[in-house]
């Protein structure tokens, strides 16, 4: 069977002939064959478009399945802490364990507006509470502030990549905690962009304040 490109080439030649000489100079048999060929190609193109749309839909489904599976992995790896950490009742935050580390998760939507790196005013009470617990119960532990984003590409923000956006957000939280009395020598920021996604975009956008085990 002739390839689609070859068939389109033949049709293009016939169309050119028709344009230059008129329908009366083309044999009826060739004219009817060209019409049949064009109809078949239209059907094949429609079928190809349908298959492409199905593939795109399947790809989107698989991406969501991957996000859900990654979220389940995170949930299983994030073990509940054995004893009270002091962070349990802080509004806007949740706490889990990661080996010997304590992870305080604050949703990005709690801290920042979309595409922004300036802390919301109402997020400061959450960070104030976290800073007080760190100062009182973990005065010598090293603190790592981890920034994460969802997987959507940057469109309108001045931060051109998710990695840069997550870095700026992590540094904004680090700076705020230092301003609340945490020694700058024992706290640092780390950017992970859209790595390690959670089961939804909203959950993927987050800052994790990790109290490293001694």
Whether 70 and 108 map to the same domain: the answer is no
Average pLDDT over residues 6-25: 56
Structure tokens at 108: 């990005």
pLDDT digits (tens, 9 = 90+) for 129-169: 999 999 999 999 999 999 999 998 887 778 889 999 999 99
CB atoms within 10 A of CB 133: 19
Task: Tally the domains of the chain.
Answer: 2
Whether 111 and 150 map to the same domain: the answer is yes
Q: Which of 56, 75, 94 is the last residue of a domain?
A: 75
The confidence score (pLDDT) of residue 68 equals: 58
Q: Which of 54, 75, 96 is the last residue of a domain?
A: 75
pLDDT of 202 > 50? The answer is yes
Whether 162 and 91 map to the same domain: the answer is yes
Average pLDDT over residues 102-127: 93
> The domain spanning residue 190 has which CATH number?
3.30.1330.60
Q: Which of 80, 93, 78, 75 is nearest to 133 (CA)?
A: 93
Over pLDDT 90: what percentage of the chain?
48
Containing structural domain, residue 13: 4-75
Whether 107 and 140 map to the same domain: the answer is yes
Whether 14 and 59 map to the same domain: the answer is yes
Kindly report the pTM of this predicted structure: 0.63
């Amino acid at each position: 069977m002739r390839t689609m490109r070859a068939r389109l080439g033949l049709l293009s030649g016939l169309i050119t002939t028709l344009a230059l000489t008129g329908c009366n100079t083309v044999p009826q048999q060739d004219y009817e064959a060209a019409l049949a060929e064009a109809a078949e190609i239209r059907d094949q193109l429609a079928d190809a478009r349908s298959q492409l749309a199905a593939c795109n839909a399947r790809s989107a489904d698989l991406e969501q399945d991957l996000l859900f599976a990654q979220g389940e992995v995170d949930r299983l790896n994030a073990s509940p802490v054995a004893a009270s950490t002091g962070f349990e009742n802080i509004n806007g935050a949740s706490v889990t364990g990661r080996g010997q580390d304590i992870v305080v998760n604050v949703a990005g939507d709690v801290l920042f507006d979309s595409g922004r790196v300036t802390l919301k005013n109402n997020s400061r009470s959450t960070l104030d509470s976290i800073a007080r617990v760190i100062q009182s119960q973990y005065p010598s532990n090293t603190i790592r502030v981890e920034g994460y984003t969802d997987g959507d590409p940057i469109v309108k923000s001045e931060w051109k990549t998710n990695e840069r956006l997550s870095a700026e957000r992590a540094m904004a939280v680090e700076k705020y905690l230092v301003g609340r009395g945490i020694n700058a020598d024992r706290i640092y920021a780390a950017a992970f962009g859209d790595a390690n996604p959670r089961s939804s975009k909203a959950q993927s956008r987050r800052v994790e304040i990790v109290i490293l085990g001694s």
